[in-house]
Amino acid sequence: MSTLTRKENRPFLDLFDWMDSPMTMFRPFSGQAMRLEDFVKDGHYIVRAELPGIDPDSEVDISVNEGVLTIRAERSEEEVDKSHSEFRYGVFTRRVVLPAGADEDHISASYDKGILQVDVSLREKEAEKAEKHIPITRPRAAK
């Protein structure tokens, strides 16, 4: 059987919230953090963000500018008399520097079961250039 956490225990909950995202207090103007994971797979850079309960059509904006991917989401609080809530409301923003070779003209995004996935195509690496050896010169000895 689950029980509701009472507000009297709030100092401990605040401590766990702070441990969950300790730098939040140092960046009050950047919005709240969202959890991300990223990886490279099959020539694509993939960024996944946890955004449960958010409508991707109206509450999410994804942009890219000069090699930086920005994900912005907003969750509005419903006007309901609540006795307790641990939900986070407001603006959530994350910026990710794209890896070298990211093709900003070929980016797509999808949303499924609370996870936003952004797929960035990576350009083929330039053909590897032939190895070049650098000669070492030595001063001539004086005769």
Q: What is the pLDDT of residue 131?
A: 66
Both tokens of residue 119? 């797929």
Find out whether 122 and 102 touch, Cβ atoms under 8 Å.
Answer: yes
Distance CA(5)–CA(88), nearest Å, equals 16
Domain count, the chain: 1
- The string of pLDDT tens digits covering residues 42-94 is 999 999 999 988 899 999 999 999 999 999 998 877 777 777 877 777 888 99
Mean predicted lDDT score pLDDT of the chain: 76
What is the CATH number for 112? Answer: 2.60.40.790
In a domain, 4, yes or no: no
Cβ atoms < 10 Å from Cβ of 117: 14
In a domain, 13, yes or no: no
In a domain, 89, yes or no: yes
Owner of token pair 């959890």: 35
Find out whether 112 and 99 touch, Cβ atoms under 8 Å.
Answer: no
In a domain, 94, yes or no: yes
In a domain, 8, yes or no: no
Q: Name the 3-class secondary structure at 91.
A: strand
Of 96-105, 110-119, 121-130, the range with the lowest mean pLDDT is 121-130
